């Protein structure tokens, strides 16, 4: 029977704490995705019932914001996993997942920025048209 040292007990305690923290962060990320789906679904349903189906950009941006936030939490959980990954194979898998999630978040953020710019441009054009018609 192997005698446990204070060091090994402390290491076990840290690993357990990080695993629980990782689970909590992943749960928060999943909750945010679920909340985003509910909010966006509600907005979509309201738009359908009001027959405002011409432009769903605002709804897409709402969902995109939730997804971007959730991806940040999921990436945080991945980073926590690398702190306790016992093998290079697991570290490699976590690294690949982190790269994929980072790329998804980058392109999602870029799309949100582009959509906001287009939406702002449309809003400015409408205001200019309204101003011209009032004269």
How does pLDDT run across 45-66, given as a tens digit for each residue?
Answer: 998 888 877 667 888 889 989 9
Residues 15 and 51 in one domain: yes
How many domains does the structure of the chain reveal? Answer: 2
SS (H, E, C) the chain: CCCCCHHHHHHHHHHHHHHHHHHHHHHHHHHHHHHHHHHHHHHHHHHHHCCCCCCCHHHHHHHHHHHHHHHHHHHHHHHHHHHHCCCHHHHHHHHHHHHHHHHHHHHHHHHHHHHHHHHHHHHHHHHHHHHHHHC
Domain boundary residue, one of 86, 101, 125: 86
Q: Which residues of the chain have pLDDT under 50?
A: 1
Residues 17 and 59 in one domain: yes
Statement: the pTM of the whole predicted model exceeds 0.85: no
| Confidence (pLDDT) at 60 | 87
Residues 109 and 53 in one domain: no
Domain span including residue 95? 87-134
Residues 92 and 104 in one domain: yes
Residues 93 and 38 in one domain: no
| Confidence (pLDDT) at 91 | 81
Residues 58 and 113 in one domain: no
């Amino acid at each position: 029977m192997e005698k446990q040292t204070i060091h090994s007990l402390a290491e076990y305690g840290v690993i357990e704490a990080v695993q629980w923290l990782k689970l909590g962060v992943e749960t928060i990320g999943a909750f945010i995705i679920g909340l985003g789906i509910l909010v966006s679904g509600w907005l979509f349903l309201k738009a359908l019932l009001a027959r405002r189906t011409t432009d769903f950009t605002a709804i897409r941006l709402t969902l995109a914001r939730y997804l971007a936030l959730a991806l940040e939490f999921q990436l945080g959980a991945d980073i926590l996993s690398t702190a306790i990954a016992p093998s290079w194979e697991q570290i490699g898998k976590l690294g690949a997942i982190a790269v994929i999630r980072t790329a998804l978040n980058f392109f999602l953020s870029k799309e949100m920025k582009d959509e906001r710019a287009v939406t702002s441009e449309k809003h400015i054009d409408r205001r200019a048209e309204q101003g011209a018609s009032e004269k």
